[in-house]
Structure 1
Amino acid sequence: MQLPTLDLIVFILITFGNVLFGASFFFKNKTAGQFTSGGGNLPAWVVGMSIFATFVSSISFLALPGNAYSTNWNALVFSFSIPVAAILAVKFFVPLYRGIGSISAYNYLEMRFGTWARVYASACYLLTQLMRTGAILLLLALPINALFGFNIKTIIIVTGIAVTLYSMLGGIQAVVWTDAIQGIVLIAGAIVSALVITFSMPEGPSQVFEIAAANNKFSLGSFGSSLSESTFWVILIYGLFINLQNYGIDQNFVQRYMATSSDKQAKSSALFGSLLYVPVSVIFFYIGTALYSYYTARPELLPAELTQPGMGDKVFPYFIVNGLPTGITGLLIAAIFAAGMSTVSTSLNSTATIILTDYYQRYINKNASEKSSMSVLYISSMVIGFLGVLIALSLVGVESVLDAWWSLASIFSGGMLGLFLLAFLSRKVRRIDAIVGVIVGALVIIWMSLSPLYFNSENLLAFRSPFHSNLTIVIGTLVIFLLGFVSMKFFFRKK
């Protein structure tokens, strides 16, 4: 469809204004420390907004309303675990990393278990972020293509170049400040959408709640004990482990702990960013539920193809184009772009930092000058951005490959979290104990992640994992943690 001129102007101003603003920080990056941590002088509220924006991707902006439209509020339970993880981060993780003083999240693992642990975790992180960059660039292009018909590959290339440019030139300061702006645009877009839908109901705002309640749309899911279904407890436990992983071992978060001037500011930014996500996610779910009520009350406004099962994710994009006033549509598209750009820029900066600290300065040039360090950061950002674009282009039209990647992502992340918890919770766990735990735990995670993809025939069903896919990281992490302790107590003990 043809994009109205006003919407196009709003979209261009917000999107390219962000890019130019981020690139302007090039003149403030004189040292590697300024590039990776902003010199430790960034405002707490900006870092907090950046943490929030890191939580939210363009997929969240569309998938959460789509989920609420198709089902209920079960997935919102994930957000309930965030305050718990945030409090644990403030109490334990922030002081840990700031006390060590290293910008790398994986230096701590080397201190506890040796070089192998740091290389294992950092390599898993680099692979995860590289593929994540490609996946987000593709998933960002899909709704834009569906909304306005722009060529998918062109969207990927233009977006990839723009984000790589300001991430490479501006460093963490560009990432954090543009994250803050993008987060504000995202919140504004969500609030405006929710208000427009609510006040467009034929019988007034109360009709949203009447229709939704009559159809059980506010349900948080079953409170049963099943481990194979998406119950309240499965989602809550899954969310707790995922968020412990984010705060405990994710380089994106650790860099932000180091970006403020004091422990107090680092803690307040961690709390602010994480807790802000909770009410915003409620708005996303409300949008989906309100859309259900809106199109139930006015079914003639929804095309027949969007009423079919599995089309829930496309209802909100349809409303953005056809139900919002001109100008507001441009704001919403800019918000979707902003969320995706925020995720990609964060990945680019964090991977460049790990390449510098965990590989170049560790194995290639231990006495690297500021000039050579900055060169590594610039080149790494550019190469990762380029590879991310290539990966996104290679995934166009190959949905099964994308599904397989999300399964592989849990393999990497599960092992990292289990290893971190072994290191953090006991000083007596040895290197060999950690190795045993990681090997067995990784095998369990691989089985749980891939068995649903490969054990589909009747004679192989017995080999499939009986657990819900969200429990992969939970069970894998527990296996690593518990086996590490068992090994410490009973195996490889010297007389």
Structure 2
Amino acid sequence: MRDACRAVGGFGTWDYVVFAAMLLISAGIGLYYAFAGGVQKSSREFLMGGRRMSALPVALSLTASFMSAVTVLGTPAEVYRFGARFSVFAITYALVVVISAEVFLPVFYRLGITSTYEYLELRFNRYLRLCGTALFIILTILYTGIVIYAPALALNQVTGFDLWGAVIATGTVCTFYCTLGGLKAVVWTDVFQVGIMVAGFAAVIIRAVVVQGGIGPILNDSYHGGRLNFWEFDPNPLQRHTFWTIIIGGTFTWLGVYGVNQSQVQRYIACKSRFQAKVSLYINLLGLWAILACAVLCGLAMYSIYKGCDPWTAKCVSALDQLMPYLVLDILHKFPGMPGLFVASAYSGTLSTVSSSINALAAVTVEDLIKPHFTSLSERKLSWISMGMSLFYGGVCIAMAAVASLLGGLLQAALSIFGMIGGPLLGLFSLGILFPFANPVGAFVGLLGGFTASLWVGIGAQIYPPLPHNSMPLNLSTAECNTTGLGAEGNWTSLMAPRATERPVLADYWYSLSYLYFSTLGTLVTVAVGIVASLLTGGLRQSVDRKFMINKEDFLSNFSFLKPKKEDKVEVLNWKQVADEGTDNPAFNHIEMDFTDNKEKVNGVHT
């Protein structure tokens, strides 16, 4: 028998040094891009890095934003509870990257837009652009609240810091360098932070392998504990994680992030050519696979170490998302600086994701809500407004972190929010890019239908969580714990399962739909209703410019490097050409004005 809650130590001097160094370097990058060479004199420089970014840093930035504290804390806990089935997401990520690079990226890059929601006005009308902007702002603020709250849990568990003090500190540091440095600071800080995050994962994995006597015992314990359950082909949509829910539902969920979400799209369309933008996505895929492998291995190692005495069931931690910090102090407390490295890893995940979100929120606010109504503003004033918006949204996201404390498991809560709001938005963009007969009326009716359906099932699932036989949790034992609070064999499902008599009929069917299908439902309902409504309101009679649609030439553009001079120049010039073409289009008036103020400089760069 061993104590249910072992003394796991606390932060030492070197831990604080490592942690503080990460914060100082992140802030320093923001200061550098704020003052080096005066590069933030225009809103385009602040929001898009001047569209001169290269593939590698953008790819690492995309990876860092994906690898938020939700991933660092939530994914290992997911594997610990439900097994390694989560690793099937490797296939999902490949599908998401290919579709994003080959369907959505070519259209956005060709149009040279800053806000992805500009596309909705060009393809449909201004009202749908405003709808998309509003939904994005709501989605991003809610999600950012979660990723600010997540590392605060880690800090609270590991160091005893005040939980809400940590929340405020997280948001403040992030807002500081994002407000000062713009997109360039966001991208290059992400490059630094992704290294910290990988180092944190590596420290845990290496030490766990040493403690358990090799990788063999970890895999053996995981096998006998049912954690190596990779393949489950049950087509039942009520099952939380199966091959089909992860492949189908996961693809729709993450496509709403990589394909059309401003936070991700803003970075890869800031690349200096379309080819570089596509390369950044494919390099990012390698990073996603590496992160997934690390997170799954951490979860399996955690199970191997705690297979006989689960800290959560034994009440050593108050939430499953605190298991990783608990494990770190348990196995790394004898190594000065290592617990600090892990907390810096979780904190880096938050900084990268939140900074990207704040920068994207500022971009859509300036491009979609301010520029169209205040066309006389100079670029210098727009740059200051962009900084002000970054500061404002930083404060809002800190406040929204309070909501995250009420949402339960961090990983599922984050993906559920993306599904409920991101799915209908994905459906709206899909209507515009894939269906030439989709018209504004059909798009609006489709968006309304998809949003209603996904919100209905999503909110219902929060009120009436699925029963354990749908979520399929695995056994967590306390047989080796020296505790009298639980029986010899504890299982969290017996403590958490609600009584069936308290649940309405819809709860066990409609509300029990796998959370990964929220996005699928929202997307498909939006597209289906949008198609029908468009056909009924004369969609076949309209004429749509092909530059707003996906074309066969977009697929052939992958081979543009075979014709380097001509093709590369066309890609670099695309954003300027579209701006010039937009003289008679109100959606492009503000872009035309940007170039009028600085025409000679622009021509000098591209001739």
TM surpasses 0.5: yes
Give the superposition deviation at 1:451: 2.2
Aligned residue identity for 1:479: V
Q: 1:196 to 1:406 in 2, by over 3 A?
A: closer
Corresponding residue of 1:15: 23
TM-score, with structure 2 as normaliser: 0.76
* Cα distance change of structure 1 residues 407 and 256 upon mapping to structure 2, 3 Å threshold: closer
For the pair 1:359 / 2:373, whether they are aligned, the reply is no
CA–CA distance in structure 2, aligned partners of residues 42 and 491 of structure 1? 43
Question: Is residue 416 of structure 1 aligned with residue 425 of structure 2?
Answer: yes
1:272-291 alignment runs, 5 A limit: 272-291=283-302
| Cα shift readout 1:134-163 (whole Å, capped 9, x = no counterpart) | 232222211210111001121122221111
Partners of 2:521 and 2:208 lie apart in 1 by 41
Partner AA of 1:85 in structure 2:
V
Q: Distance in 1 between matches of 2:238 and 2:142?
A: 28
Q: Distance in 2 between matches of 1:211 and 1:405?
A: 30
The reply on whether 1:426 has 2:435 as its aligned counterpart is: yes
1:214-261 superposed Cα distances (whole Å, 9 cap, x missing partner): 223121242111110021111111111022212221111221122221
Q: Secondary structure of 2:527's match?
A: helix
Q: Which protein is richer in helix relative to its size?
A: 1
Summarize the alignment of residues 112-127 of structure 1 with structure 2, pairs less than 5 Å apart.
112-127=123-138
Q: Cα offset for 1:314? A: 3.2
Q: In the alignment, which of 299, 311, 325 is matched to residue 317 of structure 1?
A: 325
CA distance in 1, matches of 2:142, 2:395: 12
- Aligned ranges 1:376-455 → 2 under 5 Å: 376-392=385-401, 394-395=402-403, 398-399=406-407, 410-454=419-463
Query: What corresponds to 2:57 in structure 1?
Result: 46
C-alpha separation in 1, matches of 2:280 and 2:314: 41
Q: 1:316 to 1:130 in 2, by over 3 A?
A: closer
State the number of aligned residues: 489
Q: What's the offset of the Cα at 1:44? A: 1.5
How far apart are residue 389 of structure 1 and its match?
1.8
Specify every segment of 5 or more residues in structure 2 that has no aligned partner in the other structure, as ranges: 1-8, 465-499, 542-607
Alpha-carbon contact 1:422-1:434 (below 8 Å) kept: yes
Equivalent residue in structure 1 for 2:378, among 366, 369, 380: 369
Percent identity over paired residues = 27
1:395 touches 1:401 (CA, 8 Å); kept in 2? no
Do 2:415 and 2:516's aligned partners in 1 also have CA atoms closer than 8 Å?
no
Cα distance, 1:396 vs. partner? 7.8
Match of 1:90 in 2: 101
Decide which of 512, 527, 530 is 1:481's aligned counterpart.
Answer: 527
Could you tell me how far apart the structure 1 residues matched to 2:169 and 2:459 are?
Answer: 34
Q: Structure 1 residue 494: deviation in Å? A: 9.5
Q: How far apart, CA to CA, are the structure 1 residues paired with 2:18 and 2:536?
A: 65
SS in 2 for 1:270: helix
Q: Secondary structure at the match of 2:275?
A: helix
Query: Which of these residues, 505, 516, 527, is aligned with residue 461 of structure 1?
Result: 505
Aligned counterpart, 2:248: 237
Relative to structure 1, the CA distance from residue 413 to residue 197 in structure 2 (aligned partners, 3 Å threshold; closer, same or farther) is: same
Residue type of the partner of 2:236? S
Contact 2:311/2:317 (8 A) holds in 1: no
Distance 1:265 1:436 in 2: 36
1:212 corresponds to which residue? 222
What CA distance in whole angstroms lies between the structure 2 residues aligned with 1:92 and 1:493?
Answer: 22
Cα shift at 1:329: 1.5
Residue of structure 1 equivalent to 2:485: none
Give the secondary structure class of the aligned counterpart of 1:366. Answer: coil
Q: CA deviation at 1:410?
A: 3.5
Distance 1:182 1:29, change over 3 A: same
Q: How far did residue 58 of structure 1 move?
A: 0.5
Letter paired with 1:33: R
Q: CA deviation at 1:488?
A: 3.0
The alpha carbon displacement at 1:444 in A equals 1.1
The 5 A counterparts of 1:36-75 are 36-75=47-86
Contact conserved, 2:312 with 2:318, CA < 8 A, in 1?
Answer: no
Please say if residues 366 and 386 of structure 2, whose CA atoms lie closer than 8 Å, have aligned partners that are also in contact: yes
Q: Which amino acid aligns with 1:211?
A: D
How much does 1:119 deviate? 0.4
Shift of 1:274: 2.8
Q: What is the CA-CA distance between 1:354 and the residue it aligns to? A: 0.7
Answer with 1 or 2: which has the greater Rg.
2
**How far 1:306 moved relative to its partner?**
4.6
Shift of 1:491: 5.0
Measured at CA, do residues 64 and 454 of structure 1 come closer, stay the same or move farther in structure 2, by a change above 3 Å? closer
> Which amino acid in the other structure matches residue 361 of structure 1?
K
Q: Which secondary structure state, in structure 2, belongs to the residue aligned with residue 249 of structure 1? A: coil
Task: Identify the residue that residue 342 of structure 1 maps to in structure 2.
Answer: 352
2:496 equivalent in structure 1: none
Specify the code of the residue in structure 2 equivalent to 1:24.
Y
What's the counterpart of residue 24 of structure 1?
32
Asked whether the 8 Å contact 1:418–1:480 carries over to 2, the reply is yes
Check conservation: 1:79, 1:239, Cα contact below 8 A. Answer: no
RMSD: 2.5
| 3-state SS, counterpart of residue 160 of structure 1 | helix
Following TM superposition, by how much is the alpha carbon of 1:416 offset from its aligned partner in structure 2, in angstroms? 0.7
**Would the aligned equivalents of 1:82 and 1:275 in 2 still touch at CA under 8 Å?**
no
Using the alignment, how far apart are the partners of 1:271 and 1:406 within structure 2? Answer: 22
Query: Could you tell me which amino acid in structure 2 is paired with residue 150 of structure 1?
Result: F
Q: Give the drift of 1:47.
A: 0.5
Aligned to 1:147: 158
- Find the aligned partners of 1:423 and 1:382 in 2 and give their Cα distance: 33
Equivalent residue number for residue 4 of structure 1: 12
Residue type of the alignment partner of 1:353: A
Check whether the contact 1:306–1:312 (CA below 8 A) recurs between aligned residues: no
Q: Distance in 2 between matches of 1:422 and 1:33?
A: 28
CA contact (8 A) 1:438 1:480 kept: yes
The answer as to whether partners of 2:426 and 2:523 remain within 8 angstroms in 1 is yes
Distance 2:100 2:503 in 1: 46
Contact 1:95 / 1:263 at 8 angstroms: preserved in 2? yes
When residues 267 and 62 of structure 1 are mapped into structure 2, their CA distance, relative to the original with a 3 A threshold, is same
Displacement of 1:418 after TM fit? 0.9
Q: Is the 8 A contact 1:4 1:326 kept in 2?
A: yes
